C-alpha cells in the first residue's frame, strides 16, 4: 500500500517526532493538535518539547513544506492517533482524547484509508472503542478501511534514534490492516517490523512497561529493607548483580512519566482479579515519594520551617518531561509537612508547577537553603562540584536520592551526605 498524505493527531512527545520523521522521509504530513499554543509555537519555528535533535528535525520538516500544523484533521491516506491516555478518578484509563481523535477522523475517512492507534490503551481499545466510532462513517473496518494498533517503544532522550532503529510491533484487526501498517512504517523504520493482531499489540506495550515497573518496585523495596537493616543498599545490589543471572535495578524516588507509572493500572483495571502482583508493584512505587519524605524527616527531625532546595523535577534524568513526576510529589508532600521547598529543574527552568515554588538558576536555589535534596540524576546536577556548592550555600546537609554524589568529596568539603537506600550509620 502506498501513502502520500498522512495525518498525525496529537503533537506531544511521540506525535511530533513521528510526524516530523515521516515528513523528512518525503510524505506530506498534517500535524494536528487542539492546543492553540502548541500550534502557534510550531508554526513560529519553536518546539515545546525538549528532546535532543527534535528542534532541528521539526524545522527541517516545516521548511521542506511536507509538515503543516493545524487544529483539525483533513483528508489523508493514513491517520495516526498519538494523543494522551491519562488517568481519571480511581486509576482508570481516560480514553476521552482517543475518542475525540477518532470522532474527528470520521468526516474525512475514505475507502482504503489506514487508521493507526499509537496511544497506550487498555486491551481491546482498538476493537471495542476506536472501531465502532470510525464505523459511524458508514464504512466497515477491514472491509472498507484498515485499522491497526502500533505502540511507541522509545526512550525519552533517545526518541529520534529509537523511532527509526527499534523493532516495531503492528497489530491489525485483520492481516490486511497489519500489512498496511507495515507499509506505512517501513517509510522510515529500519528495525524489524513484526505483525500480529491489535489486542496482542496493545498487551505487548502494557507488558513491557509493567515488567519494568515490577522490577523497579523490588529495587525500591530492597532499598527500604537496606535502610531497616543498616545496610548500604547500593553496595548490596552491586554485589547481588555479580550473580550471572541477576540484574537488580537501582532504587529511586518513585516512578513517573506517562508510561511506566500509568500503563500497569490499565491491566489492573481490565483484570483486577488476576493482576495482583502488578497492583502491589504499583502501590510500592506510588508510595516511594512518601518514603523519601519520611527519610528526610527521620534524619533532620521536624520539617516545620526547614528550607529545602529540591534539585530536579522531571520524571527521569536528562529529559524535561514532568508528567506524573515523583519528584514533584515529594516537593508537595514536604511543603504540606511544613517545609519551605524551592525547586530547580535545569531542563525546564521556567516551569510553572502548582504547589511548587521554582527558581530559574541553581545559584538562586542554593543561596537560601538548609538542606539540599537531589531528586533527579540530571547530568548538570550530578556534576555539581561540592567545592562550588560549599561557596554557594550555607546548607551542610545533603540527601542524594540517586547515588550520584561521591560521599568522600562532599564530606571533605564540610557536608553531611545521606543517601536513599543506605542504612549505614553516619
Distances (CA, A) of 93 to 14, 15, 120, 258: 19, 19, 10, 12
- Give the CA distances from residue 231 to residues 41, 154, 239, 405, in Å, rounded to whole numbers and listed in that order: 51, 35, 12, 18
- Concatenate the DSSP letters of all residues of 147-184 into one string: EEE------TTSHHHHHHHS-EEEEESSHHHHHHHHHH
Q: Are 414 and 392 in contact (CB under 8 A)?
A: no
Residues 6 or more apart in contact with residue 299 via CB below 8 angstroms: 397, 399, 418
Cell 491489525 -> residue: 172
Task: Identify the helix (H) or strand (E) that includes residue 379.
Answer: helix 379-382
Select which of 7, 113, 259, 401 is catalytic.
Answer: 259
259 is an active site residue? yes
Catalytic residue among 7, 113, 205, 331: 205
DSSP H/E element including 289: helix 288-300
DSSP element (H, E) containing 17: helix 15-24
Distance of alpha carbon 3 from alpha carbon 350, whole angstroms: 40
Residues involved in catalysis: 205, 259
Amino acid at each position: 500500500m502506498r501513502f502520500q498524505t498522512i495525518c498525525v493527531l496529537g503533537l506531544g512527545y511521540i506525535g511530533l517526532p513521528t510526524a516530523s520523521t515521516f515528513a523528512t522521509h518525503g510524505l506530506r504530513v498534517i500535524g494536528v493538535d487542539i492546543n492553540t499554543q502548541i500550534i502557534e509555537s510550531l508554526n513560529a519555528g519553536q518546539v515545546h518539547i525538549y528532546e535532543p535533535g527534535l528542534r532541528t528535525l521539526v524545522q527541517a520538516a516545516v521548511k521542506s513544506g511536507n509538515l503543516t500544523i493545524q487544529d483539525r484533521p483533513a483528508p489523508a491516506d493514513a491517520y495516526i492517533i498519538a494523543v494522551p491516555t491519562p488517568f481519571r478518578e480511581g486509576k482508570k484509563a481516560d480514553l476521552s482524547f482517543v475518542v475525540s481523535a477518532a470522532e474527528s477522523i470520521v468526516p474525512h475517512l475514505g475507502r482504503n484509508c489506514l487508521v493507526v492507534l499509537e496511544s497506550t490503551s487498555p486491551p481491546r481499545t482498538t476493537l471495542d472503542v476506536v472501531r465502532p466510532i470510525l464505523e459511524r462513517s458508514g464504512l466497515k473496518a477491514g472491509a472498507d478501511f484498515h485499522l491497526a494498533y502500533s505502540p511507541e517503544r522509545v526512550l525519552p532522550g533517545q526518541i529520534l534514534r529509537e523511532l527509526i532503529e527499534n523493532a516495531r510491533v503492528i497489530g491489525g484487526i485483520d492481516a490486511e490492516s497489519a500489512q498496511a501498517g507495515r507499509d506505512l512504517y517501513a517509510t522510515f523504520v529500519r528495525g524489524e517490523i513484526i505483525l500480529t493482531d491489535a489486542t496482542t499489540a496493545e498487551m505487548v506495550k502494557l507488558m513491557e512497561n509493567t515488567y519494568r515497573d515490577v522490577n523497579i518496585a523490588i529495587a525500591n523495596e530492597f532499598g527500604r529493607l537496606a535502610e531497616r537493616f543498616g545496610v548500604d543498599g547500593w553496595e548490596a545490589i552491586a554485589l547481588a548483580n555479580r550473580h550471572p543471572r541477576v540484574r537488580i535495578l537501582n532504587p529511586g524516588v518513585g516512578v513517573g512519566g506517562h508510561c511506566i507509572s500509568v500503563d500497569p493500572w490499565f491491566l489492573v483495571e481490565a483484570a483486577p482479579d488476576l493482576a495482583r502482583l502488578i497492583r502491589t508493584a504499583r502501590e510500592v512505587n506510588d508510595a516511594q515519594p512518601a518514603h523519601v519524605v519520611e527519610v528526610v524527616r527521620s534524619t533532620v527531625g521536624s520539617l516545620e520551617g526547614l528550607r529545602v532546595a529540591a534539585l530536579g523535577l522531571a520524571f527521569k534524568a536528562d529529559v524535561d518531561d514532568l508528567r506524573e513526576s515523583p519528584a514533584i510529589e515529594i516537593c508537595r508532600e514536604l511543603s504540606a509537612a511544613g517545609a519551605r521547598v524551592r525547586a530547580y529543574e535545569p531542563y525546564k527552568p521556567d516551569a510553572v508547577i502548582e504547589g511548587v515554588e521554582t527558581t530559574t538558576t541553581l545559584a538562586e536555589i542554593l543561596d537560601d537553603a538548609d538542606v539540599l535534596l537531589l531528586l533527579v540524576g540530571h547530568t548538570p546536577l550530578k556534576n555539581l562540584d561540592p567545592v562550588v556548592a560549599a561557596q554557594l550555600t550555607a546548607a551542610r546537609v545533603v540527601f542524594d536520592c540517586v547515588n550520584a554524589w561521591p560521599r568522600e568529596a562532599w564530606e571533605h568539603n564540610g557536608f553531611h551526605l545521606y543517601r536513599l537506600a543506605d542504612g549505614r550509620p553516619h
